[in-house]
DNA sequence: TCTGGGGTCCTAGGACCC
DNA sequence: TCTGGGGTCCTAGGACCC
């Protein structure tokens, strides 16, 4: 076997080569369901709901895939394509639990792990050779230990970048290991469809096809400048990806860097469209409570509250409002959501989906800073206002002390200090 | 085919400020 | 009375991922 870890770049600069693993569980949801009901093994199984329900396939067994069933396909379509399939409801708690087991196994191989989703992870294995041996050996050990500890199959892709690791794990499926030797990246990618590049979806694929680009190799031949002109920042990143580089965006970040949540949301699709305002507002209340609970669990306060509304014909709008003070209270979230809803719902039009979304987070610690910040901002604003008045009307027109007193009074009026024990007694003599 | 639910990131335009 | 350039914040929508 050829190991090629001491490449030299031009000007004799040593190049440090990363070894990244991408570990992807095979048909994860289906495999977990099989652990709970072994009779499902070897059969066409669809996870995500019952055959007549509104909804899509979350995961399909390899047997079901033979009939063309794949994830994100409407359940009713899957039922037509594969009538003999067994339809199973999803169990998110089971998947979370198994995902934690997977994480624990991975933790014995590298301290730098990043769960990219519930069923896949990146490991930075750079410099672990003394402990785990060369990449292929480490991967096989990992593969075996994963099976032994979780009874689940996974596939492992190994490469010098996250991108290469990710693409190679997909090629290794099912239940395989694939190592792309350093230096062979472009050769590996060239024959693959452009769609295999993470980030290239339906739309981008169509654009590229219109340019006569089918394979990653075609893409790599294209001029970088041309791609940038046509697709902007994304085009430039794409040129790098065609060479196997983690160009731009999330791929360019260190494995295991702390990824704090940026938003929390819940939504609900009705089994039948409804225009019943009582039902709609009850749903919004429930969704607001779910979002509020998760904010409190994570100790986040959100400033931006967003409503999502989908009509019968699938037209979807979002309407957001940003609060002056962040919140994690159900009542405040619901108040905003209800007002957005009443302002934007075309009365009487049947609704298919409602959603509540919270973002622009500040943590508890930031809260204190924010208060300080807003106090500072008041000073700044007052001073800036005074300056503008002076510019306009001359030096003697503004007294600084008066401005600050006004601002102070306003503040204390807005947020009166509650004295413990006094308020209730005075209300109930 | 008749389209879930949870996310991330990017773009573009308008408001507002300096 | 025709008009800048940059920065930041906010909103809306869309592509993409699992």
pLDDT, one tens digit per residue, over A106-120 is 999 999 999 999 999
The answer as to whether A258 is a domain residue is no
pLDDT range class, residue A376, cuts 50, 70, 90: very low
The answer as to whether A415 is a domain residue is no
- A84 and A102 belong to one structural domain: no
Rounded CA-CA distance A367/A326 in Å is: 8
**Cβ pair A148, A53 in contact under 8 A:** no
Span A170-177, mean pLDDT? 97
Q: Is the dihedral of CA A239, A242, A243, A244 positive or negative?
A: positive
φ/ψ region of A71 (left if φ > 0, alpha if ψ in -120 to 50, else beta) reads: beta
Q: Is the pLDDT of residue A7 over 60?
A: no
Q: Is the pLDDT of residue A149 over 60?
A: yes
- A174 and A207 belong to one structural domain: no
Q: Is the pLDDT of residue A34 over 70?
A: yes
The answer as to whether A65 is a domain residue is yes
A73 touches strand C (CB under 7 A): no
- A201 and A180 belong to one structural domain: no
The answer as to whether A40 is a domain residue is yes
pLDDT range class, residue A14, cuts 50, 70, 90: low
Domain ends where: A64, A89, A114?
A89
Which one has a higher pLDDT value, A390 or A96?
A96
Q: Given this model, what pLDDT does residue A229 score?
A: 84
Based on the structure, what is the number of domains in chain A? 4
The one catalytic residue in A34, A114, A120, A245 is A120
A374 touches strand C (CB under 7 A): no
- A302 and A338 belong to one structural domain: yes
Query: Which of A226-235, A282-291, A399-408 shows the highest mean pLDDT?
Result: A282-291
**Cβ pair A59, A88 in contact under 8 A:** no
Least confident of A218-227, A248-257, A280-289: A248-257
Q: How far apart are the first and last CA of chain A?
A: 88
Phi, psi of A12 (to 5 degrees): 55, 30
Separation of CA A184 from chain center: 30
Phi, psi of A41 (to 5 degrees): -60, 135
Q: Is the pLDDT of residue A423 over 60?
A: no
Between the CA of A249 and the C1' of B9, what is the distance in angstroms?
A: 8
Rounded CA-CA distance A51/A60 in Å is: 13
Report DSSP state, residue A18: P
C-beta atoms surrounding A327 within 10 Å: 18
- A37 and A124 belong to one structural domain: no
Q: Given this model, what pLDDT does residue A364 score?
A: 60
CA-to-CA dists, residue A37 to A31, A41, A88, A178, angstroms = 10, 8, 11, 31
Q: Given this model, what pLDDT does residue A13 score?
A: 53
Write the pLDDT tens digit of every residue in A260-283.
999 999 999 999 999 999 999 999
- A395 and A320 belong to one structural domain: yes
Instruction: From A228, A206, A209, A229, select the one nearest A218 (Cα to Cα).
Output: A209
Q: Is the dihedral of CA A179, A156, A236, A261 positive or negative?
A: negative
Span A243-264, mean pLDDT? 88
Report DSSP state, residue A199: T
- A106 and A85 belong to one structural domain: no
- A197 and A99 belong to one structural domain: no
Span A368-376, mean pLDDT? 48
The answer as to whether A295 is a domain residue is yes
**Cβ pair A158, A179 in contact under 8 A:** yes
Rounded CA-CA distance A246/A238 in Å is: 10
The answer as to whether A237 is a domain residue is yes
Which one has a higher pLDDT value, A374 or A106?
A106
| Domain carrying residue A136 | 20-26+93-186
Between the CA of A315 and the C1' of B15, what is the distance in angstroms?
A: 27
Going edge to edge, which strands form the sheet with A113-117? A113-117, A120-124, A20-25, A154-159, A177-179
* Residue A252: partners with Cβ closer than 8 Å, 6 or more residues away: A246
Residues 43-82 of A with CB under 7 A from strand B: 54-56, 58, 71-72, 74, 76-77, 80
CATH number at residue A357: 3.30.1490.100
Domain ends where: A53, A69, A89?
A89
Rounded CA-CA distance A294/A151 in Å is: 31
Between the CA of A324 and the C1' of C4, what is the distance in angstroms?
A: 31
A118 touches strand C (CB under 7 A): yes
CATH number at residue A119: 3.30.70.270
Q: Is the dihedral of CA A389, A393, A396, A397 positive or negative?
A: negative
- A136 and A182 belong to one structural domain: yes
* Residue A151: partners with Cβ closer than 8 Å, 6 or more residues away: A35
Q: Could you identify the residue written with the tokens 């430039």? A: A236
Span A353-357, mean pLDDT? 98
Q: Is A120 a catalytic residue?
A: yes
- A77 and A201 belong to one structural domain: no
Write the pLDDT tens digit of every residue in A40-87.
999 999 999 999 999 999 999 999 999 999 999 999 999 999 999 999
Helix axes A400-414, A364-393, angle to 10 degrees: 150
A199 touches strand C (CB under 7 A): yes
- A115 and A200 belong to one structural domain: no
| Pairing, β A177-179 against β A154-159 | parallel
Least confident of A151-160, A198-207, A365-374: A365-374
The answer as to whether A210 is a domain residue is yes
- A68 and A173 belong to one structural domain: no
Which nucleotides of chain C have an atom under 7 angstroms from any protein CB?
Answer: 9-18
- Helix runs in A299-399, H state only: 330-344, 364-393
A289 touches strand B (CB under 7 A): no
Averaged confidence pLDDT in chain A: 85
CATH number at residue A208: 1.10.150.20
pLDDT range class, residue A252, cuts 50, 70, 90: confident
Q: Is the dihedral of CA A74, A99, A258, A181 positive or negative?
A: negative
DSSP character string of A404-419 = HHHHHHHHHHHSPPPP
**Cβ pair A30, A41 in contact under 8 A:** no
């Amino acid at each position: 076997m050829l190991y090629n870890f001491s490449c030299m770049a031009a000007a004799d600069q040593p190049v440090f080569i990363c070894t990244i693993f991408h570990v992807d569980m095979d048909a994860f949801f289906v495999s977990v369901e099989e652990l709970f009901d072994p009779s499902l093994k070897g059969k066409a199984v669809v996870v995500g709901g019952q055959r007549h329900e509104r909804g899509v396939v979350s995961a399909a067994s390899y047997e079901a895939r033979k009939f063309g069933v794949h994830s994100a396909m409407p359940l009713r379509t899957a039922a037509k394509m594969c009538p003999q399939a067994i339809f199973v409801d999803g169990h998110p708690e089971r998947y979370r639990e198994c995902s934690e087991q997977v994480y624990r196994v991975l933790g014995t191989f590298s301290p730098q792990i990043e769960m990219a989703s519930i069923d896949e992870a990146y490991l930075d294995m750079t410099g672990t050779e003394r402990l785990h041996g060369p990449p292929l050996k480490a991967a096989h050990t990992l593969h075996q230990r994963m099976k032994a500890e979780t009874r689940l199959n996974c596939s492992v892709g190994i490469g010098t970048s996250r991108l290469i690791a990710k693409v190679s794990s997909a090629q290794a499926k099912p239940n395989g290991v694939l190592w792309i030797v350093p230096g062979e990246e472009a050769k590996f990618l060239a024959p693959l469809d452009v769609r295999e590049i993470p980030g290239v979806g339906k739309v981008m694929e169509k654009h590229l096809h219109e340019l006569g680009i089918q394979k990653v190799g075609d893409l790599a031949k294209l001029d970088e400048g041309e791609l940038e002109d046509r697709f902007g920042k994304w085009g430039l990143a794409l040129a790098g990806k065609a060479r196997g580089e983690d160009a731009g965006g999330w791929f360019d970040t260190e494995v295991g860097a702390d990824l704090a949540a940026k938003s929390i949301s819940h939504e609900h699709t009705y089994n039948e469209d409804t225009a019943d305002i009582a039902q709609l507002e009850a749903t919004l209340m429930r969704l607001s409570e779910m979002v509020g609970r998760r904010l409190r669990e994570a100790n986040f306060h959100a400033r931006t509250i967003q409503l999502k509304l989908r009509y019968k014909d699938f037209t979807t709008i979002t309407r957001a409002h940003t609060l002056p003070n962040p919140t994690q209270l159900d009542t405040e979230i619901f108040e905003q959501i209800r007002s957005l809803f009443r302002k934007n719902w075309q009365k009487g039009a049947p609704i298919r989906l409602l959603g509540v979304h919270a973002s622009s987070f500040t943590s508890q610690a930031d809260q204190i800073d924010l208060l300080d910040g807003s106090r500072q901002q008041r000073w700044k604003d007052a001073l800036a206002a005074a300056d503008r008045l002076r510019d306009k009307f001359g030096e003697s027109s503004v007294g600084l002390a008066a401005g600050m007193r006004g601002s102070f009074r306003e503040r204390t009026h807005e947020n009166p200090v509650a004295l413990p024990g006094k308020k209730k007694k005075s209300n109930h003599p």
